[in-house]
């Protein structure tokens, strides 16, 4: 997994050319008439956590393949493990899938809808002599199972009669036995090289309520049995899942063949791994529970609700899913690809604005502050329909501290003593003097402006090297803003060294709180509004911590496109 994939797999975006192997399989099936041209997929989350960007890949693939082929895609909750599941997760998943732009019409199902049918199928296996009630403890089961190099040993309960098994299984269902005392197991082959085939459990006893079925059941079907039977009941054609289920496919085949049930085709693809990004639901839950992040929707989280709150758009995420492609080979995608997609999307959609993060005061000595000077600024040079706005100029302005150097190197093209720069949409200014406090810290600059350069155009053809952003010190508003960095400092979190924990790689600088000085109109923005702050990046008004006329901004992404640079270098 060491190879980082920075180049999109589907370079060909020509219409009608399948650009990944799953598109190809579906198009071949449509040609051969294998499913009578039916394409019916499903997205099958377990409601035990919030969805993340990896799930988004699967959602876009399943709903996308169905849509491209005039097919259907179900939303199905694989809810066979009530102890870890919660209705809160069900609701968040619905919201996230819808927000991504997909619709399941009235086809929202729960695997628990099929518990009666699953039970029937299990009894059928018992009656066929293909399943038995086992009383080994979980520890004993592990011991009997063997290993990759050692074959397993038959359970002493394996040769029970059908009548005995049926009686015990029914009594399991009736609640006669405590948790963990018995399981129903498929009778397959304890010597199979595939450990999944060594008499896997089909049902376990769990005296817990279920968020959908309440107290109706005290036995619950195992995931592997539930999943393939649910796909079969829903008459799924292409059962798309991640690579780790390849080894489970023979078991799914066994169940469906033995039960003589409808049999979808399973297709495995490599899950999404992203640099610097934790993709395990269990660990994301831990980050929430330990208070390391403020919740599932903390804008640093790779969850869909976290990305949404940060300011990501569904269009950018769908574009990302298309760009990274689908393959059978495990790889690691550069987080820069995701950032590239949101920049591309917002470049056309987000209006520009000016704000200063780290202010340095500039006093314009020859400016007469008694005039009311309003300048025209373009809202979006990429979309002229977005129009223009007025911004006030004044004698005292703020610029970024970084945009001034007292002793600049040759290639520094911004402000320095004796040098001239353009203030965006305003005037040329040149630096006359530097004011310092008793510690030698620069507190302000004294500058002159050229009235003839109004609007930022050169009056006489003379050139300035740099253009910098600014805000009026008198008119600007101070606004709370959060700058984000990766939550982790380690590139490949799927590969943690012995003796280390993923939490050892938390980035202590993942969030920086600042007060920016901003154009006044930024104070009136509403939750979810997005802007490009010139030269600083894309920002979004936080949906949780903002109130009327008191927005809090999240930086979605900076402007520097590191990924595009990597691309250019590679070419
Ligand atoms: P769990 O360990 O809880 O099963 P999971 O991430 O597999 O975690 P599911 O709810 O089972 O969560 O996932 C729903 C669907 O999303 C599955 O079909 C799964 O294969 C797919 N999926 C999960 N993670 C990724 C990923 N990183 N990339 C692509 N698809 C993924
Ligand atoms: Mg899973």
Sign of CA dihedral 255, 257, 258, 262: positive
Q: Ligand 1 atom 5: the closest Cα is on which residue?
A: 281
31 in a structural domain? no
Residue minimizing CA distance to atom 23 of ligand 1 = 55
Asked if residue 266 has pLDDT above 60, the reply is yes
User: Whose CA is closest to 559, among 419, 357, 297?
Assistant: 357
Which of 436, 469, 502 delimits the end of a domain?
469
- 524 secondary structure, DSSP code: G
For residue 2, pLDDT beyond 90: no
Give the CB-side neighbour count of residue 295, counting CA atoms within 13 A.
9
Q: What is the pLDDT of residue 31?
A: 97
Residue 168 within any structural domain of the chain? yes
Ligand in nearest proximity to the CA of 47 = 1
- Closest atom of ligand 1 to 279 CA is 27
Residue 298 domain flag = yes
List the end-to-end C-alpha distance of the chain, in Å, as a whole number.
Answer: 23
Residues 234 and 329 in one domain: no
What is the pLDDT, as a whole number, of residue 3?
57
Cβ contact 416:406 at 8 Å: yes
User: What is the C-alpha separation between 215 and 217, in angstroms, rounded?
Assistant: 5
Ligand 1 site, CB within 6 A: 44-46, 48, 54-55, 57-58, 241-242, 271-272, 279, 281
Q: Mean pLDDT over residues 149-168, rounded?
A: 97
Question: Residue 161's pLDDT is what?
Answer: 98
3-state secondary structure of 398: strand
Question: What's the structural domain count of the chain?
Answer: 3
CA of 431 to the centre of ligand 2 (A): 61
The reply to whether 274 falls in a domain is no
Q: Are residues 308 and 402 in the same domain?
A: no
Kindly state whether residues 224 and 341 are assigned to the same domain. no
Q: Cβ(309)–Cβ(297) under 8 Å? A: yes
Instruction: Tell which of 218, 243, 269 closes a domain.
Output: 269
What pLDDT is stored for residue 9 in this prediction?
A: 45
Residues 152 and 246 in one domain: yes
* Nearest-angstrom CA–CA distance, 273 and 153: 37
Pocket test for ligand 1, best of 43, 55, 57, 286 (most atoms within 8 A of CB): 55
Atom of ligand 1 nearest to the CA of 271: 28
Q: How far is the CA of 309 from the centre of ligand 1 (A)?
A: 22
State in Å: Cα 244 to ligand 2 middle. 9
Testing ligand 1's pocket by substitution, the residue of 58, 63, 286 carrying the most ligand atoms inside 8 A of its CB is 58
Q: How far is the CA of 392 from the centre of ligand 1 (A)?
A: 51
Report residue 263's pLDDT band, with 50, 70 and 90 as the boundaries. Answer: very high
CA-nearest residue, atom 4 of ligand 1: 46
225 located within any domain = yes
- Do 84 and 173 lie in a common domain? yes
Provide the pLDDT for residue 19. Answer: 84
- Phi, psi dihedral angles at 446 (to 5 degrees): -105, 125
Find the largest Cα–Cα distance for the chain: 102
From the CA of 57, how far away is ligand 1's center (Å)?
10
Alpha carbons 512 and 508: distance in angstroms, whole number: 10
Residue 568: what pLDDT?
54
Average pLDDT, the chain: 95
- Does some domain include residue 10? no
Kindly report the CATH number assigned to the domain that includes residue 499. 2.40.240.10
Ligand 1, atom 15: closest residue by C-alpha:
45
Atom of ligand 1 nearest to the CA of 240: 18
Residue 220: the pLDDT is: 98
Q: Which atom of ligand 1 is nearest to the CA of 47?
A: 10
29 C-alpha to center of ligand 1: Å?
25
Residues annotated as catalytic are 46, 271, 281
Residue 539, in any domain of the structure:
yes
One domain for residues 180 and 106: yes
Same domain for 113 and 234? yes
The reported pLDDT for the residue numbered 6 is 56
Nearest ligand, CA of residue 242? 1
- Residue 442 phi, psi dihedral angles, 5° rounding: -75, 125
> What pLDDT digit, counting tens, does each position of 431-479 carry?
999 999 999 999 999 999 999 999 999 999 999 989 999 999 999 999 9
pLDDT band at residue 371 under the 50/70/90 scheme = confident
Residue 14 has pLDDT above 90, yes or no: no
User: What's the gap in Å between 327 CA and the centre of ligand 2?
Assistant: 18
Atom 26 of ligand 1 has which residue's CA nearest to it? 54
Residue 197 belongs to a domain: yes
- CATH number at 247 reads 3.40.50.620
DSSP element (H, E) containing 123: helix 115-127
Closest residue by Cα to atom 13, ligand 1, is 45
The answer to which of 59-63, 320-324, 540-544, 567-571 has the lowest mean pLDDT is 567-571
Tokens of 314: 């569904």
246 and 339 part of one domain:
no
Please state the separation of Cα 453 from the chain's center in Å. Answer: 46
Query: Which mutation among 54, 228, 274 tests ligand 1's pocket best, with the greatest number of atoms within 8 A of CB?
Result: 54
Looking at the structure, tell me whether residues 228 and 125 fall in a common domain. yes
Q: Are residues 258 and 334 in the same domain?
A: no
Q: How many CB atoms lie within 10 A of CB 89?
A: 22
Residue 205 sits in the same domain as residue 254: yes
State both tokens at 512. Answer: 């920086």
Domain endpoint, select from 469, 488, 505: 469
Name the residue range of residue 55's domain: 38-269
pLDDT surpasses 60 at 571: no
Find the Cα–Cα–Cα–Cα dihedral 270, 272, 273, 274, rounded to 10°.
Answer: 150
Within 10 A of 48 (CB to CB), how many other CB atoms are there? 18
Q: Are 62 and 81 contained in the same domain?
A: yes
């Amino acid at each position: 997994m060491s190879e980082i994939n920075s180049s999109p797999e589907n370079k060909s975006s020509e219409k009608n050319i399948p650009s990944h192997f799953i598109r190809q399989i579906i198009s071949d099936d449509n040609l051969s008439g294998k499913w009578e041209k039916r394409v019916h997929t499903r997205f099958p989350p377990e409601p035990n956590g919030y969805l993340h960007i990896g799930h988004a890949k699967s959602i876009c693939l399943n709903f996308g393949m169905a849509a491209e082929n005039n097919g259907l895609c179900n939303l199905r909750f694989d809810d066979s493990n009530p102890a870890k599941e919660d209705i809160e997760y069900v609701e968040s998943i619905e919201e996230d899938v819808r927000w991504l732009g997909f619709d399941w019409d009235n086809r929202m199902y729960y695997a628990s809808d099929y518990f009666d049918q699953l039970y029937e199928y299990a009894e059928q296996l018992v009656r066929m002599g293909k399943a038995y009630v086992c009383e080994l403890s979980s520890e004993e089961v592990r011991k009997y199972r063997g290993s990759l190099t050692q074959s397993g040993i038959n359970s002493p309960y394996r040769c029970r009669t059908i009548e005995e098994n049926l009686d015990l299984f029914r009594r399991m269902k009736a609640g006669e036995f405590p948790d963990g005392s018995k399981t129903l197991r498929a009778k397959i082959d304890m010597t199979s090289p595939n450990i999944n085939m060594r008499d896997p459990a089909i049902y376990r006893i769990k005296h817990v309520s279920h968020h959908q079925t309440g107290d109706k059941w005290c036995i619950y079907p195992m995931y592997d049995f539930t999943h393939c039977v649910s796909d079969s009941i829903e008459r799924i054609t292409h059962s798309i899942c991640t690579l780790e289920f390849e080894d489970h496919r023979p078991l799914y085949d066994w169940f469906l063949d033995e039960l003589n049930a409808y049999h979808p085709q399973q297709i495995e693809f490599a899950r999404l791994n992203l640099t610097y990004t934790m993709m395990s639901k269990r660990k994301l839950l831990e980050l929430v529970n330990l208070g390391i992040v403020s919740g599932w929707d903390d804008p640093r989280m790779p969850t869909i609700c976290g990305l949404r709150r940060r300011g990501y758009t569904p269009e950018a995420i769908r574009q990302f899913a298309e760009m990274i492609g689908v393959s059978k080979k495990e790889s690691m995608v550069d987080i820069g690809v995701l950032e590239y997609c949101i920049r591309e999307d917002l470049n056309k959609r987000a209006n520009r604005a000016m704000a200063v993060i780290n202010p340095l005061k500039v006093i314009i000595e020859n400016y007469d502050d008694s005039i009311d000077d309003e300048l025209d600024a373009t809202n979006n040079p990429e979309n002229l329909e977005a129009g223009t706005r007025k911004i006030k100029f004044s004698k005292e302005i703020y610029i970024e501290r970084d945009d001034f150097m007292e002793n600049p190197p040759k290639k520094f093209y911004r402000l320095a003593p004796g040098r001239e720069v353009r203030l965006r949409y305003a005037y040329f200014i040149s630096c006359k003097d530097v004011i310092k406090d008793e510690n030698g810290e620069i507190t302000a600059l004294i500058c002159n402006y050229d009235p003839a350069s109004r609007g930022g155009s050169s009056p006489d053809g003379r050139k300035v090297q740099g253009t910098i952003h600014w805000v009026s010190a008198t008119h600007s508003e101070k606004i709370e803003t959060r700058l984000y960095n990766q939550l982790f400092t380690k590139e490949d979190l799927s590969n943690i060294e012995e003796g280390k924990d993923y939490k050892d790689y938390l980035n202590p600088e993942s969030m920086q709180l600042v007060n920016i000085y901003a154009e006044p109109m930024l104070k009136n923005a509403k939750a979810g509004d997005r802007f490009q702050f010139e030269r600083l990046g894309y920002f979004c008004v936080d949906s949780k911590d903002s109130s009327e006329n008191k927005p809090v901004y999240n930086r979605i992404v900076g402007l520097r496109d590191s990924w595009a640079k990597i691309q250019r270098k590679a070419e």
